[in-house]
Amino acid sequence: MGNITTIDRWLSPSQAAEIIPYSAWQIRKFCRQGILPHSKRPGSKQNRIMIKQSDLVNFIQQGAAA
């Protein structure tokens, strides 16, 4: 067997807030400030912020806005 590729799950700020000790509002703020990598879901009126689960893990491992 070769390499196993994992699929990265996309999370909304609310879903991310259920995983880490920050509110959805704080997570959106980190995204706006460029502290937390994110993408905006195309086609939605609100340009919904989406965060890769792996980016969220890296964010926490690096000290989460320390």
Predicted model pTM: 0.76
With H, G, I as helix, E, B as strand and everything else as coil, classify residue 56: helix
Q: What pLDDT score does 38 carry?
A: 95
20-49 pLDDT, tens digit each: 999 999 999 999 999 999 998 776 666 689
Q: What is the dihedral of CA 55, 27, 20, 4, to 10 degrees?
A: -20
Domain count within the chain? 1
Q: At residue 7, does pLDDT exceed 60?
A: yes
Q: Which amino acid, 57?
A: V
CATH code for the domain of 30: 1.10.1660.10
Q: Give me the sign of the Cα torsion angle 7, 29, 34, 48.
A: positive
Q: Which has the higher per-residue pLDDT, 39 or 4?
A: 39
Q: Which amino acid, 41?
A: R
Does residue 3 fall inside a structural domain?
A: no
- In sequence order, what are the residues at sequence separation of 6 or more whose Cβ sits closer than 8 angstroms to the Cβ of residue 56? 11, 16, 19, 20, 36
The residue-averaged pLDDT of 4-8 equals 67
